[in-house]
Amino acid sequence: MMTAKGKYCLKALACLASLEPGAKMQAIDIAKKQDIPKNFLDVILNDLRHANIISSKKGPGGGYMLARGASEIRIGEIIRLIDGPLAALACASRTAYRACKDCADIRRCKIRLLMGQVREAVSAILDSASVADLVVARDRQVNGKNLYRRNGQPARVARVSKASSANRLGAVPKRKHTR
């Protein structure tokens, strides 16, 4: 599950991405506009600055701005930076792998294989979306309905049949009865 820090981070980045190129915004203004606790936002902005996601300027006319284009900043990169690995279980992680103590055979563990698929699906979605997409998605919401489309098609989550899901987990599919 994404943390509040991760969510606030994405809100702050979307706010900065909506600025005119070269414009800056002070932390207090981001906090007010996005309803983020100022002290919490300061920690987030510091993390982003150290990772060269944003830059800052002190003094009159100072503030924060994106260090590179919003379309170049991937959501997956940000989530990993702020919240850590995307995997729901450490045994399914690519970057923070730890074997489960109660697993007899990690190569055949159905739970680990399933969670690996979940990690891959989440990673594919988050690594294909950018901070610019957050701004577009926010701007396309009308009356509470998200009109955001990717490649002209409504955004949707693919459904996986039980049989194909079981196959990927190494199970033998049930035979269909024909009449």
Domain extents in the chain = 4-168
pLDDT per residue as tens digits for the range 98-136: 788 887 887 888 878 888 888 888 889 999 999 999 988
- What is the pTM for the complete model shown? 0.72
Band of the pLDDT at 174, cuts 50, 70, 90? Answer: very low
Considering the domain 4-168, what is its CATH architecture? Orthogonal Bundle (1.10)
- The residues that bridge with 65 in the sheet, in sequence order, are 55
Q: Distance of CA 90 to CAs 51, 93, 116, 129, 170, Å? A: 24, 5, 10, 24, 21
Does pLDDT of 27 surpass 80?
yes
